[in-house]
Amino acid sequence: MRQQGQAEIAALIGASVSKVSRLLAEARRQGIVTIHVAASRVGESEFERELAGRLGLQAVYVAPARVADASVASRAAALMAARMLSGVLPAQGVVGVSGGYTVSQLAHALEPLPGLDLTIVPLQGNWVEGGLHMHNDQVCRDAANRLQARALSLPAPMVVDRADTRDALLRDRSIRPVTSRWSELDVAVVGIGPPPGGEGLDYLSVMGQLPSEVRAELQHLRVVGDLCGHMFNDGGHFVEHEVSRRTLSISVDELRRVPQVVAVAGGVSKAVSLLGAVRTRIPSVLITDQLTAESLATLTEVTETSGS
């Protein structure tokens, strides 16, 4: 894979670094692999520029990984995002980070950026089950540790039993140090959730945590994904559902006011989710893998042809 180190390749394919080293050595011996140093052109290809223009985005970055496995594609997008974020993060300020598998992988892949004065803020509550990637506080701590930044904690669940409980929590003094910073964000780094049915993923998502009857209702409403727990349809319109009123996360209006929103997601099954997310006009930058980007480009061509 272009522009990836041995540790990154090992993480992507689930092998040890030593095995990757042996495979590369044998490939070089047979002349299958050659190594040379060239300037990175990521984000500057004609395909990336055209796709960004078609989607109305500031930029699209495509990880050079042609993989069908959803989790591997997500890790490829995360590794790309970890490299590109250094050019996006402010020297001083507040950075919001969502939970999710891809953003969790991104947090672990970040490189230290000495000299920055950043505060990392969770954008949503935490799921008790589903893995550490669903625990937004943990994802923020991981990102802060890598960036040598400060991390705030949001000690509250992602979804509560009642809407009035969510409203009371948002007003509670114990979490105000976090929620008050949502209006001060300089950058937000967010994952994009998959459609509520037929995810084809080997990790749990927000949609996967919801009861089957709720997922069926969301499918009926043409929901194709979520941003920080806010469900949207294929036209990019946010869908109001009973579960939305019980979700503790940054509001859509606050997300819209963030100067730079970087969306990171991988896996072909998420192409329709990416298109819906872009149509909300919240993300300004999109980072994904090659196959997903190609599928997204095809979707935009189909919708343009049909006049959608």
Tell me: do 267 and 285 sit in the same domain. Answer: yes
Query: Radius of gyration (Cα) for the chain, nearest Å?
Result: 19
Tell me: do 256 and 290 sit in the same domain. Answer: yes
More confident call, 231 vs 65? 231
Tell me: do 13 and 94 sit in the same domain. Answer: no
Tell me: do 16 and 156 sit in the same domain. Answer: no
Report the domain count for the chain. 2
Cα separation, 102 vs 81, in Å, equals 10
In our burial notation (b when 16+ CB lie closer than 10 A, e otherwise), range 241-260 reads bebbebbbbbeeebbeebeb
Q: Mind listing the pLDDT tens digit for each residue in 100-113?
A: 899 999 999 998 88
Tell me: do 77 and 166 sit in the same domain. Answer: yes
pLDDT, residue 86, reads 85
For the domain that residue 203 is a member of, what is the CATH number? 3.40.50.1360
Domain region containing 222: 41-306
The dihedral of CA 270, 275, 277, 282: what is its sign? positive
Tell me: do 88 and 6 sit in the same domain. Answer: no
Tell me: do 60 and 147 sit in the same domain. Answer: yes
Tell me: do 91 and 183 sit in the same domain. Answer: yes
The chain-wide mean pLDDT, for the chain, equals 86
- Three-class DSSP category at 60: strand
More confident call, 148 vs 127? 148
Tell me: do 261 and 296 sit in the same domain. Answer: yes
pLDDT, residue 28, reads 66
Residue 306, pLDDT above cutoff 90? no
Contact predicate 77/191, CB 8 Å: no
Tell me: do 293 and 161 sit in the same domain. Answer: yes
Tell me: do 26 and 83 sit in the same domain. Answer: no
| Residue 210 banded pLDDT, cuts 50, 70, 90 | confident
Tell me: do 10 and 70 sit in the same domain. Answer: no
- Three-class DSSP category at 283: coil
Q: Mind listing the pLDDT tens digit for each residue in 48-73?
A: 999 999 999 999 999 988 888 888 99
More confident call, 59 vs 30? 59
Percent with pLDDT over 90 in the chain: 60
**Average pLDDT score over residue span 198-223:** 75
Q: Which residues contact 279 (CB under 8 A, 6 or more apart)?
A: 232, 234, 235, 236
